[in-house]
Chain A
Amino acid sequence: MNAPMISRRTFTAGAGAIVLAFSLDPKVALTQQPAKLPGDLETNRMLDAWIRIDADGNATVCTGKVELGQGIVTALAQIAAEELDLPLARVHMISGDTARTPNEGVTAGSQSIEHSGTALRFAGAEVRAILIDAAAKKLGVAPDTLKVSDGTIGAADGRKVTYGEIAGAVDLKREATAKFPPKAPAAHTIVGTAVKRFDIPAKVTGGAAYVQDMRPDGMLHGRVVRPPRYGSKLDSVDEAAAKAMPGVVAVVRDGGFLGVVAEREEQAIAARAALIKSAKWTLGPPLPDPATIHEHLVSLPTEDTVISEKKPAELGAAPAEAQVVEATYHRPYTSHGSIGPSCSLAELKDGKLTVWTHSQGVFPNRANLAAALGMGPADVRCVHVEGSGCYGHNGADDVALDAALLARGMPGRPVRVQWMRDDEFGWEPFGAAMVMKAKATVSEGRIVDWNYEVWSNTHSMRPSEPGGVNLLAAWYLADPKKASTPRNIPQPAGGGDRNAVPLYDFPRQRVVNHLIKDMPLRVSALRTLGAYANVFALESFMDELALAANADPVAFRLAHLTDPRARAVIEAVARKAGWKAGEKGGDGRGRGIAFARYKNLASYVAVIAEVEVDRASGVVRVPRAFAAVDSGQIINPDGLVNQIEGGIIQSTSWTLKEQVRFDQSGIVSRDWASYPILTMPEVPKVEVELINRPSERSLGAGEASQGPAVAAIANAFTHATARRLRDLPLAPARVKAALG
Chain B
Amino acid sequence: MTISLKVNGATHSVPAEPDAPLLYVLRNDLALNGAKFGCGLSQCGACTVLVDGQPVRSCVTPAGSVGQSEITTIEGLGSVQKPHPIQQAFIDEQAAQCGYCINGMIMTAKSLLDRNPHPTDAEVREGLALNLCRCGTHNRIVRAVLRAADTMGRT
Cα of A647 to Cα of B137 in the assembled complex, Å: 9
A587 interface residue per 8 A CB criterion: no
Q: Does A28 contact B (CB under 8 A)?
A: no
Interface set, chain B 46-96, CB cutoff 8 A to A = 46, 73-75, 77-80, 83, 87, 90-91, 94, 96
A724 within 8 Å of B by Cβ?
no
**Pair A388/B33 contact, Cβ less than 8 Å:** no
List B contacts of A673 (CB < 8 A): 41, 43
Q: Is the CB of B129 within 8 A of A679?
A: yes
Task: Return chain B residues, CB-CB under 8 Å to A679.
Answer: 129-130, 132
| B38 within 8 A of partner (CB) | yes
Q: Which residue of A lies closest to B130 (CB)?
A: A679
Does A206 belong to the interface (CB within 8 Å)? yes
Q: Which of A202, A206, A680 contacts B133 (CB 8 A)?
A: A680
Contacts of A421 in B (CB 8 A): 38-41
Q: Mark B117-137, 1 if CB is under 8 A from A, else 0.
A: 000001001101111111111
CA distance A221 to B27 in the complex (A): 13
CB-CB nearest in chain A for B42:
A672
A69-B136 CB under 8 A given contacts A201-B91, A681-B129: no
> Could you tell me the distance between the alpha carbons of A322 and B141 in the complex, rounded to whole angstroms?
51
Q: What would 16 A/B residue contacts be, using CB atoms closer than 8 Å?
A: A196-B94, A201-B91, A204-B87, A204-B91, A205-B75, A215-B31, A266-B24, A339-B46, A388-B36, A389-B134, A389-B135, A646-B97, A649-B139, A679-B129, A679-B132, A686-B139
Give chain A residues whose Cβ lies under 8 Å from the Cβ of B146: none
- Which residues of the other chain, B, contact A418 by a CB distance below 8 angstroms? 37
Among A337, A672, A685, point to the contact of B139 (Cβ < 8 A). Answer: A685
Contact B140 A210 (CB under 8 A): no
Query: CB of A213 within 8 A of chain B?
Result: yes
At the interface, yes or no: B149 with Cβ under 8 Å from chain A? no
Known contacts A205-B79, A680-B125; is A638 also within 8 Å of B43 by CB? no
Q: Which residues of B contact A481 (CB under 8 A)?
A: none
Q: Does the CB pair A391–B134 fall under 8 Å?
A: yes
Give the docked Cα–Cα distance between A673 and B132 (Å).
Answer: 12
Complex Cα distance, B97 from A339, in Å, reads 12
B101 interface residue per 8 A CB criterion: yes
Known: A208-B33, A209-B99, A679-B132. A339 touches B94 (CB 8 A): no
List residues of A (482-524) whose CB comes within 8 Å of B's CBs. none
By the criterion CB–CB under 8 Å, are A649 and B100 in contact? Answer: no
Give B residues with C-beta under 8 Å from A. Answer: 16-17, 20-21, 24, 27-28, 31-34, 36-41, 43-44, 46, 73-75, 77-80, 83, 87, 90-91, 94, 96-103, 106, 122, 125-126, 128-142
A683–B100 touching, CB < 8 Å? no
**What B residues does A671 contact at CB under 8 A?**
39, 41, 43
Does A124 count as interface, using CB distance less than 8 angstroms?
no
Task: Indicate if the CB atoms of A650 and B134 lie closer than 8 Å.
Answer: yes
Q: Are B136 and A649 in contact (CB under 8 A)?
A: yes
On whether the beta carbons of A206 and B94 are closer than 8 Å, the reply is: no
A265 CB–B CB distance under 8 Å: yes
A212 lies within 8 A of B132 (CB):
no
Interchain CA distance A206-B38 in the complex, whole Å: 15
Q: A204–B106 contact, CB under 8 A?
A: yes
Picked from A199, A264, A646, the residue with its CB within 8 Å of the CB of B135 is: A646
Distance between Cα atoms of A50 and B19 in the complex (Å): 50
Is A389 in contact with B139, judged by CB distance below 8 angstroms?
Answer: no
B46 to chain A minimum Cβ distance, whole angstroms, is: 6
A645 at the interface (CB under 8 A from B): yes
Contact among B31, B38, B87, B97 with A340 in the assembled complex (CB-CB below 8 Å): B38
Question: Which chain A residues numbered 255 to 273 have a C-beta less than 8 Å away from chain B?
Answer: 264-266, 269
Q: Which residue of B lies closest to A636 (CB)?
A: B94
In the complex, chain A residues whose CB is within 8 Å of the CB of B135: 69, 389, 646, 650
- Residue of B36, B96, B139 touching A645 (CB-CB under 8 A): B139
* A70 close to chain B: CB less than 8 A: yes
Roughly how many angstroms separate A121 CA and B140 CA in the complex, as a whole number?
A: 31
**Contact in complex: B39, A202 (CB < 8 Å):** no
* Separation of A337 and B133 alpha carbons in the complex (Å): 10
Whether the pair A339, B133 counts as a contact (CB closer than 8 A) is yes
CB-nearest residue of chain B to A343: B37
Residue in A196, A203, A206, A649 whose beta carbon sits within 8 Å of that of B138 in the complex: A649
Q: For A685, give the chain B residue with the smallest CB separation.
A: B139
A212 and B134 contacting across the interface, CB-CB below 8 Å: no
- The reply on A68 being an interface residue by CB < 8 A is yes
Query: Nearest Cβ distance between residue B79 and chain A, in whole angstroms?
Result: 5
- Is there an interface contact between A203 and B94, defined as CB atoms closer than 8 Å? no
Those 4 A-B pairs whose CB atoms lie nearest each other, nearest first: A69-B98, A206-B34, A649-B136, A389-B98
Chain A contacts of B96 at CB under 8 A? 69, 197, 199-200, 203-204
